[in-house]
Amino acid sequence: METVLLPKSWNVDQVLDDLDQHGFALIDDAYSPEYVHALAEECASRLNQFREAAIQNGVVSKIRSDHILWINEELQTAQQHIRYLNALSDQLNQAFFLGIQEVEAHFACYNAGEFYALHRDNPQRKNDRVISTVYYLHEDWQDGWGGELRLQDKYDQWHIIQPKPNRIAIFQSDLLHEVIQAKHQRLSITAWLRSGNSIW
């Protein structure tokens, strides 16, 4: 099996500590400018394939209005991001015994006016999502464009996470969170690190 080395900008010790202490962590300047551009191009070139996001059994949710495209083997640039998340999963398993086995991911596009209301990615631990991640792949973002991630940490304190380009937000899937209404198109990759035996 191929050994994947995480980018040097990923301070794994800090990520593990922040997850342990607060339930969430941030990685800034995650990737090289060349990779960021290639990823943004791959996403933008397929925007016409995006569909309305849905919840269970394909029922379109009224609590969200974004559009998504699930990442498969054809999306080679995005697959590299998933390989890095798999490598991070190995570190998380060693530190927290989470038993993460796979990563599922999709591109997400929030056009102006779109949002995702308060929810948990693993409500009442009814699915096997252990860790949620959001990578912001738009190449430019300005204050006032909305689209922030509003997150409640493990001590019920609220945080506003700016969708800064080339940032990864990592958090426990059972934490309450929302995406504030965007005022400008916001692109990202949402990924879940999944396990059959969640213990958070």
The percent of residues above 70 in pLDDT, for the chain, comes to: 92
CB contact at 8 A, 141 and 166: no
From 100-109, 118-127, 159-168, 169-178, the region with the lowest mean pLDDT: 118-127
Q: On the CB side of 125, how many CA atoms lie within 13 Å of its CA?
A: 8
Q: To which residue do tokens 């996403």 refer? A: 43
**Cα(2)–Cα(183) distance, integer angstroms:** 41
**Cα(10)–Cα(180) distance, integer angstroms:** 26
Six-digit token pair at 87?
Answer: 């490598």
Please give the radius of gyration of the chain, using alpha carbons only, rounded to the nearest integer.
Answer: 16
pLDDT value, residue 199? 46
Phi, psi torsion values for 148, nearest 5 degrees: -70, 155
When pLDDT is cut at 50, 70 and 90, the band that residue 58 belongs to is: low
Averaged over 40-53, what is the pLDDT?
93
Residue 61: pLDDT over 80 = no
Computed over every residue of the chain, the mean pLDDT equals 92
Please, what are the domains in the chain?
A: 12-195 (2.60.120.620)
Residue 130: pLDDT over 90 = yes
CB contact at 8 A, 63 and 117: yes
> Of 25, 31, 26, 24, which is closest to residue 9 (Cα–Cα)?
31
Averaged over 184-192, what is the pLDDT?
97
CA distances from 50 to 19, 46, 83, 86, 121 (A): 31, 7, 23, 25, 21
